[in-house]
Structure 1
Amino acid sequence: MSASPQPEIVTLGCRLNIAESDTIRQLAGAGTAIVNSCGVTQQALKDTRATIRRLRRRRPDAELIVTGCAVAMEPDAFGAMPEIDRIVGNSVKLLPASWGARPNAVRPGGVTRAFVGVQNGCDHHCTFCAIPQGRGANRADPIADVIARIAALVAAGQREVILSGVDLASYDDHGAGLAVLVERLLVQVPGLERLRLSSLDPHAIDEALFALLTQEARVMPHVHLSLQAGDDLVLKRMRRRHRRAEALRLIERLKAARAEIAIGADLIAGFPTEDDAMFANTLAMIAEGEITHAHVFPYSPRRGTPAARMPQVDPAVARDRAARLRAESAALLSRRLRSQIGSVQQVLVERPGTRGHTPDFAEVRLASSYPVGQVTGVTITAAAADHLTGTIIA
């Protein structure tokens, strides 16, 4: 069997893992098979084990390496898996030496959009979450380092960057927060055309960051919030720092200041003790906040977390509630997409040259192929349930 020109990487979990996998791809040896794992829930651990076994069956001759939160949280259990050749710790997985690469070996990745991890760890200890165990305390990459990395990506042809982190809104480089990072990045990398931010804790969005989200044209009008629930008692039991009214006020302010903003949210269905009335509050919040990009997960207990010791909701009920949340958000997305028929949108064309995204992150399918990596005007001609169709303006 011939070696692959690049390592094969299977990425599980969050956007930060996606960003880290992009770096690992530049460091790891050809022909290796890598799982960048997630351990946020028991289901995530189960999925990681199943992924490792499938990858080993498919790549029997490859060196199979596992990194990520799952192996950080349960090193002995994963260390005993016969399918794994080597484990790379979470704290060293971005170091060239961990993969046998030279210190200057990292090369910019693709040609359209890049996930760039700038923050890691979390200090908040939500009752459902094991992230502090897997990734440690909140820490940030220095602003100068982030700007240098993104400048190199832009010079290599990237048109859009997504800043990612475990708790991105808590970014803190010696007192300089996320707003300072974004401001300096936009000034010092003028060639960066489009900037997105991954999931933000609503409680941590200060006025400076709010102004950038609503007034800076190069910051895309798509705000994804880590809401988790829409009921105050559930939020309290989750140990979240915001309450329902605070989240809805923030969304109302965002939309009032920048009408084209699309709202996304992370939501958990079936959190322990959630009854029908509590769930109804979360369901209603989707409509009240016009949440069109909902990332919904049925609750899955994680051993060692406080929520795992609370009275549990039947998993079938949690799955049903998750489906209802997704359906409500999907209906709002469909309505939003229909409202854009006839408009002209600036679309970043992505692989394979017939698809891309608008500034508010609506997917657009093009009637004809266009060079990948270009931002072009597109007349929207039709809308399906989950995407737009458009024609490039000559």
Structure 2
Amino acid sequence: MPSTPSDNDSPSAGAPAEVVTLGCRMNLSESEAIRAMLRGAATPTLVVNTCAVTTEAVRQSRKAVRRLRRGNPDARLLVTGCAATIEPEAFAAMAEVDGVVPNADKLLPARWQVSASPMPRVPSERHTRAFVAVQNGCDHACTFCIIPQGRGASRSLPVADVLHIVARHVDLGVAEVVLTGVDLTSWGADLNGAPRLGDLVAAILHAFPALPRLRLSSVDGVEIDPLLLELLCSEVRVMPHVHLSLQSGADMVLKRMKRRHSRAQALALAETLRARRPEIALGADLIAGFPTEDEAMHADNLSIIAAAGIVHGHVFPYSARPGTPAARMPQVALPVIRARAAQLRAAVAAERARWLGTRVGLPAQVLAERDGTGHGPDFAPYRLPPGTAAGALVMMTPTGIEEGMLA
């Protein structure tokens, strides 16, 4: 998911370094590991961890490179991430860039010219949540997506390795762990015995009974296994927040995307989750203006927001990625795409405002971030009282809504 670039680091040891991250939670997790490694760098180092999910994400990645170089003319500047992996020659040709590190090598200390000794994993210096990447790559072939070219085939981190990483975070006092992956719900398919994501979640909960909160990043609804569904619906330490890789609410568009679910299946899952755990909050990725999308298909896309109760929406205007089947399909005019994206965002905003209103007056345990905000179990945003310690879990009973946040 594309995001605004974030400047994240000023290491306490070693040469000055800065890591700018674009895109998904997977990149956020990997940037933390890169940041830790760069504490041992002898040379001032800048890194842009790029995103390629849309043409706009690539443009933003290039913009971040140029901006970072302008402010740091003498530092070493390296690029990594999906955009740099898919288009290495183009990024290497940028005058601002000193080197390209492909995704496959981004967690190898030698590629950053630092010691090969294992670097300790530390809590994020931007977030109080710990992002743990348990899966990488994707074996699917969605017609709009180029990410498999940047990430490769699906690979899963074995349970023992995941527990080792989580243990480090728990020892450091992290209150919430977020499991991330390119196709998170495919975790385990390549491991001996083909365990499912529910097995991993259960193993973490069993191994760390003192861990207060475990959250999942984006999931594919058709890959939710029975144990995972049970834990999402009944385990209090698994956060009541499910973000679906939905992409569209129109069956014909889903078919042309080569998604593996239907509108009816998505709505049935939403109904099941809320029936069994009423406090659960749903999020979704939605693409506006996919090739061949007509007004009726757009209407279906728009209507699924209220029908499913999507309160955490990520809306993306479709942009053609060269090398994908969707780029060869009949395209929707850009002004139409933009208008449809605006309508989708407005619908999500309306659903979110309605939902936030239902949270006023209800006590919730909020995890404090470093900027004076925090998130409830359902990922509702809160504005915290001044002086709230970052990383603390605090009880709040909001009395109103201020600038889209409970307060």
TM interval, shorter chain, is over 0.9
Shift in alpha-carbon separation, 1:340–1:41, aligned structure 2, 3 A: closer
1:249 corresponds, among 263, 268, 275, to 268
Aligned to 2:171: 155
Aligned to 1:50: 63
The 5-angstrom pairing of residues 223-238 of structure 1 reads 223-238=242-257
Could you report, residue by residue, the CA deviation over 1:124-169 in whole angstroms, capped at 9, with x for unpaired residues?
1100001111110011111111111011011112111111110001
Aligned to 1:168: 184
Q: Secondary structure at the match of 2:118?
A: coil
CA contact (8 A) 1:334 1:385 kept: no
CA contact (8 A) 1:267 1:297 kept: yes
Query: Does residue 89 of the first structure (1) align with residue 102 of the second (2)?
Result: yes
2:232 corresponds, among 213, 218, 221, to 213
CA contact (8 A) 2:302 2:344 kept: yes
Aligned to 1:301: 320
TM-score, length-normalised on structure 2?
0.92
Offset at 1:78? 1.6
CA contact (8 A) 2:131 2:177 kept: yes
Aligned to 2:203: 184
Offset at 1:97? 2.2
CA distance in 1: counterparts of 2:301 and 2:278, whole angstroms? 23
CA distance in 1: counterparts of 2:180 and 2:93, whole angstroms? 32
The 5-angstrom pairing of residues 370-381 of structure 1 reads 370-381=388-399
Aligned to 2:6: none
CA contact (8 A) 2:197 2:225 kept: no
2:29 corresponds, among 16, 19, 41, to 19
**Identical counterparts, % of pairs:** 54
Offset at 1:41? 2.5
Query: Does residue 142 of the first structure (1) align with residue 158 of the second (2)?
Result: yes
CA contact (8 A) 1:169 1:200 kept: yes
Aligned to 1:9: 19
CA distance in 1: counterparts of 2:381 and 2:348, whole angstroms? 16
CA distance in 1: counterparts of 2:22 and 2:369, whole angstroms? 22
Aligned to 2:143: 127
CA contact (8 A) 2:159 2:200 kept: yes
Query: Does residue 61 of the first structure (1) align with residue 74 of the second (2)?
Result: yes
CA distance in 2: counterparts of 1:147 and 1:86, whole angstroms? 34
CA distance in 2: counterparts of 1:338 and 1:107, whole angstroms? 38
CA distance in 2: counterparts of 1:385 and 1:328, whole angstroms? 17
Aligned to 1:388: 406
CA contact (8 A) 1:223 1:261 kept: yes
CA contact (8 A) 1:42 1:303 kept: no
Letter in 2 for 1:333: R
Offset at 1:4? 6.5
CA contact (8 A) 2:253 2:293 kept: yes
CA distance in 2: counterparts of 1:372 and 1:50, whole angstroms? 31
CA distance in 2: counterparts of 1:159 and 1:318, whole angstroms? 40
Letter in 2 for 1:244: R
1:75 corresponds, among 85, 88, 105, to 88
Q: Which stretch has the larger CA shift, 379-388 or 149-158?
A: 379-388
Q: Which runs of 5+ in 2 are unaligned?
A: 1-9
Aligned length: 386
Could you report, residue by residue, the CA deviation over 1:75-96 in whole angstroms, capped at 9, with x for unpaired residues?
2222222211111121011122
Offset at 1:183? 0.4
CA contact (8 A) 1:4 1:31 kept: no
Q: Which stretch has the larger CA shift, 137-146 or 103-112?
A: 103-112
Could you report, residue by residue, the CA deviation over 1:248-268 in whole angstroms, capped at 9, with x for unpaired residues?
000000000000000000010
CA distance in 2: counterparts of 1:68 and 1:47, whole angstroms? 13
CA distance in 1: counterparts of 2:403 and 2:268, whole angstroms? 28
CA contact (8 A) 2:45 2:78 kept: yes
Letter in 2 for 1:248: L
Letter in 1 for 2:171: A
